């Protein structure tokens, strides 16, 4: 009987906590900044299968907050990035987002796509602006103007880099390995547009199953079409294994292999080793950029991660915190809870049209909630490092 009572008391406590959490009311204040500190919630994935990526993103956001605080904060008040873990669960993401809709000025995240799909509609419905800074345009666009995309539409940004690669290596007949996950098939379609623009023939895609273990039959299927160049739109480990399989079957012209940005992570280099030397890869950041700000970021990241280089999405939430700072300061947001709805709109409208934002890697401007002038970088892989071949700004 005692146990039943205990369980009932616990249930009641949960309900009361959640109820109370959702009904907080704003404190009264007028004019000027009224908050003691700016709290920016970050719906991240800190546990589960991609927790390491979440940690890198969190690190970037918190580093930006540290830098900003050391330089006097946002409008004179310190900023704190709140760690909120969704565990990659859409259900948990919805509840965590729902806790924020009555109180947060903006929200960073969520990460990754399944949680975005579940949680961003709630924020959009309730007029809360989401910084979906790691996903592709297609996931953020349905929630415009209440979400910002860090990337231009896939069909606008990717063809140019593929055309540049195709022209550079003289690709004539190209096959793609495509894994059916999230935005990847859409990226493969954009690659095909770039190939056509370059005058190359696009052969039938080879689908890479998500649970693929052996890659010989897939490689045979691709080689049967007699391609002279190949693009990879599958995960890093699978890409490395397919390249190794291709080499075993006599493929020699490594520059005619192009790896897409989503496969640019540690597994590609650790699995592929020296066998991926000469392979081309495209991405959105240049690790060898030589600016004091990037060098400091890069060194700090390596110091905190046993010498590992920052991965390509590392700057995204670092930049997001700075973008929020600029939006607050430029629009005169006060943090007054009574003006919450109006101040959310101020930030939303400012960020959706932000001009000449000084990002960690480069400056960019938004129009209609997404960037128009972000560059892409084409690299050649040598000895586990990327060597810059070309910088492309899509029209």
The residues binding another protein (CB under 8 A) are: 1, 3-4, 7, 10-11, 14-15, 17-19, 21-23, 46-48, 82-85, 87, 89-92, 94-96, 98-99, 101-102, 113-114, 117-118, 121-122, 125-126, 138-139, 142, 180-186
Q: How far apart are CA 69 and CA 63, in angstroms?
A: 10
Between 23 and 395, whose beta carbon lies closer to another protein? 23
How crowded is residue 101: how many other Cβ atoms within 10 Å of its Cβ? Answer: 15
How crowded is residue 237: how many other Cβ atoms within 10 Å of its Cβ? Answer: 16
| Widest distance between CA atoms in the chain | 78
Between 72 and 142, whose beta carbon lies closer to another protein? 142
Give me the least distance between CB of 166 and another protein, in Å please.
26
Between 143 and 284, whose beta carbon lies closer to another protein? 143
Between 10 and 388, whose beta carbon lies closer to another protein? 10
Between 113 and 336, whose beta carbon lies closer to another protein? 113
Those residues with Cβ within 8 angstroms of residue 293's Cβ, 6 or more apart along the chain or in another chain: 360
Give me the least distance between CB of 295 and another protein, in Å please.
30
Give me the least distance between CB of 255 and another protein, in Å please.
30
Between 256 and 337, whose beta carbon lies closer to another protein? 337
Give me the least distance between CB of 180 and another protein, in Å please.
5
Give me the least distance between CB of 54 and another protein, in Å please.
10
Give me the least distance between CB of 138 and another protein, in Å please.
6
Between 238 and 386, whose beta carbon lies closer to another protein? 238
Between 128 and 254, whose beta carbon lies closer to another protein? 128
Residue 279 backbone dihedrals phi, psi, to 5 degrees: -70, 145
Give me the least distance between CB of 24 and another protein, in Å please.
9
Give me the least distance between CB of 44 and another protein, in Å please.
9
Give me the least distance between CB of 169 and another protein, in Å please.
29
Between 142 and 368, whose beta carbon lies closer to another protein? 142
């Amino acid at each position: 009987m005692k146990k039943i009572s205990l369980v009932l008391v616990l249930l009641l406590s949960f309900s009361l906590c959640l109820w109370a959490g959702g009904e907080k009311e704003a404190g009264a204040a007028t004019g000027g900044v009224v908050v003691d500190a700016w709290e920016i919630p970050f719906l991240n994935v800190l546990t589960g299968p991609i927790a390491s990526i979440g940690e890198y993103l969190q690190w970037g956001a918190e580093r930006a907050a540290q830098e900003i605080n050391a330089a006097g904060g946002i409008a004179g008040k310190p900023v704190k990035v709140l760690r909120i873990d969704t565990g990659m669960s859409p259900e948990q993401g919805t509840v965590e987002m729902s806790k924020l809709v009555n109180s947060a000025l903006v929200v960073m995240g969520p990460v990754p796509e399944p949680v975005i799909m579940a949680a961003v509609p709630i924020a959009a419905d309730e007029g809360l602006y989401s910084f979906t800074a790691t996903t592709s345009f297609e996931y953020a666009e349905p929630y415009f103007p209440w979400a910002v995309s860090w990337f231009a539409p896939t069909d606008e940004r990717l063809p140019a880099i593929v055309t540049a690669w195709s022209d550079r290596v003289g690709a004539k007949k190209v096959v793609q390995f495509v894994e059916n996950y999230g935005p990847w098939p859409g990226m493969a379609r954009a690659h095909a547009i770039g190939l056509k623009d370059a005058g190359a023939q696009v052969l039938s895609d080879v689908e890479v199953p998500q649970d693929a273990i052996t890659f010989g039959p897939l490689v045979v299927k691709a080689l049967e079409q007699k391609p002279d160049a190949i693009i990879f739109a599958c995960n890093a480990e699978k890409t490395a294994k397919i390249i190794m399989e291709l080499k075993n079957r006599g493929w020699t012209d490594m520059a005619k292999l192009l790896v897409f940005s989503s496969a640019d992570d540690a597994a590609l280099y650790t699995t592929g080793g020296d066998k991926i030397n000469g392979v081309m890869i495209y991405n959105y950041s240049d690790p060898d950029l030589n600016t004091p700000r990037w060098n400091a970021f890069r060194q700090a990241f390596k110091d905190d991660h046993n010498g590992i280089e920052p991965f390509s999405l590392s700057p995204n939430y670092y930049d997001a915190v700075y973008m929020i700072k600029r939006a607050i300061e430029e629009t005169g947001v006060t943090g007054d809870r009574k003006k919450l709805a109006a101040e959310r709109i101020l930030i939303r409208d400012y960020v959706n049209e932000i001009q000449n934002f000084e990002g960690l890697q480069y400056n960019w401007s938004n129009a209609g909630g997404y960037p128009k002038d972000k560059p892409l970088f084409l690299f050649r892989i040598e000895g586990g490092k990327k060597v810059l071949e070309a910088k492309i700004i899509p029209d």
